[in-house]
Amino acid sequence: MSDLIKRDRTERTLLRFPVERRTTPTAEQIRNLLPEYGTVYNLLARHGLGAPPEPTAVEAQGRRTGMKMLGDITLHPDPQTAREEVTRWFQPLVERMVRRFSELRDLTWEAERQTRDEMWNEAYQARVASTTMIAWRTGTRLLAAWSVLDEALIAHAGASMGHIEQQATR
């Protein structure tokens, strides 16, 4: 299958879509795309935009969101089916997050190409910094929520296996 391409109208060159636009998104992919907290902190400080929230506070928000999601769903008795259903249910959030990172990459790339006046470029760089912080915060929350669901699925599978073992010993 050929790579997807898009035409840059100003340069008349072909640009390949980044790999995250060509694969099914996963939590691991989000972890790899997520900027480090220190990088986000320094980027915001460089533009005088304050500090990002503490990672533990953002993760706690995500875990609370995951617990709320878990309260809104009923896990199927079969562990494999339960995992497939939760993954299918969660996938649109993951796809949206990967799109956000891809858009951030495009925005960063565009900021690096800009040669316009310095004041415009500084404002654009500040926009990249604030977008990076939003993507970092949202991605961190998403991964924390997903970990809550994952823990529940593991516990659910353990309980299901225990139930099967009890039936087998009777």
Question: Which residues touch 42 (CB under 8 Å, ≥6 apart)?
Answer: none
- Residue of 151, 132, 144, 121 lying closest to 45 (CA atoms): 132
Mapped onto helix, strand or coil, the DSSP state of residue 7 is: strand
Q: Could you read off the pLDDT tens digit of each residue along the chain, which spans 170 residues?
A: 333 444 444 544 444 555 555 566 778 888 888 999 999 999 999 999 999 999 999 999 999 999 998 888 888 889 889 888 888 888 888 888 888 888 888 888 887 777 666 666 788 888 999 999 999 999 999 999 999 999 999 988 887 654 444 444 44
Residue 135: predicted pLDDT: 93
Residue 6: predicted pLDDT: 44
* Class of residue 86 by CB neighbours under 10 A (exposed 0-12, middle 13-18, buried 19+): buried
- Contact predicate 53/40, CB 8 Å: no
Q: What are phi and psi of 75, to 5 degrees?
A: -75, 135
